[in-house]
Amino acid sequence: MHELSLAQSMVSELVSYIEKNNVKKVHQVTIVIGKLSGAEKEPFEFAFPIAAEGTLLETAELVVEIQKVVILCNECRSETTLDMPLMKCPSCSSRSVKIIKGKEFIIKSMEIE
């Protein structure tokens, strides 16, 4: 389960921020997981509390948002959100597309005191 190592890395980043900014309490952490990031929501939700144990993050609510895949067609310049990662432009059927969203694994926000 590589989500545990991802959670540990994320907690490390957040704890660094918390310490540098004298944060007293963390209410909520919101992350974005792209459909093509290689991470899965449920295993990450399981791993985060384990990684956060003993830190100010341990009582924080974790909110996970899933980013669908968004492609930009290099031929017709159409931007499309895909439910399935079929890398083909639905407007012109070109396979010459660029993924512009869906690979991310990011901290979106943190509600703190």
Whole-angstrom distance, CA of residue 103 vs CA of residue 69 = 8
State how far the Cα of 71 lies from the Cα of 79, in Å rounded to an integer: 6
- The pLDDT, as a whole number, for residue 85 is 64
DSSP state of 36: T
> Please, what are the domains in the chain?
2-68+102-112 (3.30.2320.50)
pLDDT of 84: 73
Looking only at the bridges linking them, the beta strands covering 26-34 and 61-67 are parallel
**18-54: pLDDT as tens digits:** 999 999 999 999 999 999 999 999 999 999 999 999 9
pLDDT of residue 86: 75
Residue 32: exposure state from Cβ atoms within 10 A (0-12, 13-18, ≥19): middle
